[in-house]
Chains A and B, each alone.
Chain A
Amino acid sequence: MPSVRVQEADFDTGKELETLTHGRRDVGAVASFVGIVRDANDGARVSGMTLEHYPGMTEKALEGICAEASSRWDLTDTLVIHRVGPLRPGDRIVLVGVASPHRGDAFAACEFIIDYLKTRAPFWKREDTPEGPRWVEARPSDDTAAKKWK
């Protein structure tokens, strides 16, 4: 069963990833991705950002992406935690964790989930820059990354 959480609070990456293998003997691989807030973007210094989401739809979209990953690869469990609200450079934004009997499936599914999350899950970033706040524009390269999984 996918575990999906959208929360303001930080998370303990190690502890969260352990839940993917706890009490199991059929997992041979756990792959993970952690997204972090950078201090620069598109040529501007970023002192912080605020993440907005669509409560209800966001969770459904993440569950749908995890379900799609489980139908494409041999996975024993998936985990997505995404933070919202105010964040600062160096803060964790997102954790994707995937458990599988084999590493190939775990690596591929982990990349698939973050690529799809970036183009399909309703989150929006507003950055604080020296010129004031600005909404982050969607990147064509993120669409390209998601399309490779078609």
Chain B
Amino acid sequence: MVTILYFASLRESLGNSREQLALPMGNATVSSVVEALRARGTQWTEAFAPGRTWRVAVNQQMAGLATPVSPGDEIAFFPPVTGG
């Protein structure tokens, strides 16, 4: 299992701030997690559609689609940041 967090506009459009997800078998990456989320349909497919802009962090470090993920990891999805 991994913990997935959603922030800001992504949290609002998905109606979810935190969940546990079972990892697909084999060598999982951020990409395989995104595929699993996209497959849920409706707002999930739309939020993670190709061309939509979002960022991902694994264990609180900026990451990318190819970043490996393991059980116990914390994966966060969010829009580009707007602090300062």
User: B50 near A: Cβ within 8 Å?
Assistant: no
B53: min CB distance to chain A, Å:
8
Partner of A122, one of B9, B12, B57: B57
Contact yes or no, A121 B8, CB < 8 A = no
Q: Name the B residues within 8 Å of A44 (CB-CB).
A: none
Contact yes or no, B8 A82, CB < 8 A = no
Q: Name the B residues within 8 Å of A124 (CB-CB).
A: 7-9, 78-79, 81-83
Contact yes or no, B79 A135, CB < 8 A = yes
Q: Which 5 residue pairs spanning A and B have beta carbons closest together?
A: A123-B83, A138-B80, A124-B8, A57-B60, A118-B84
Contact yes or no, A120 B81, CB < 8 A = yes
Interface string of A98-140 (1 = CB under 8 A from B): 0000000000000000100111111111100000000111100
Q: Name the A residues within 8 Å of B65 (CB-CB).
A: none
Q: How many residues of B contact A (CB 8 A)?
A: 17
Contact yes or no, B60 A56, CB < 8 A = yes
In the assembled complex, the Cα of A34 lies from the Cα of B79 at a distance in Å of 24
Q: Name the A residues within 8 Å of B83 (CB-CB).
A: 51, 53, 82, 93-94, 117-118, 121-125
**Number of inter-chain CB pairs below 8 Å:** 70
Interface string of B32-48 (1 = CB under 8 A from A): 00000000000000000
In the assembled complex, the Cα of A39 lies from the Cα of B44 at a distance in Å of 34
Other than the given A54-B57, A124-B9, 19 more pairs (CB < 8 A) read A53-B83, A54-B7, A54-B60, A54-B76, A57-B57, A60-B61, A93-B83, A94-B83, A120-B62, A121-B81, A121-B83, A122-B76, A122-B83, A123-B81, A123-B84, A125-B83, A136-B82, A137-B82, A138-B81
Contact yes or no, B60 A125, CB < 8 A = no
Q: Name the A residues within 8 Å of B62 (CB-CB).
A: 120
Contact yes or no, A60 B81, CB < 8 A = no
Interface string of B45-84 (1 = CB under 8 A from A): 0000000000001001110000000000000101111111
Interface string of A49-87 (1 = CB under 8 A from B): 001111011001000000000000000000000100000
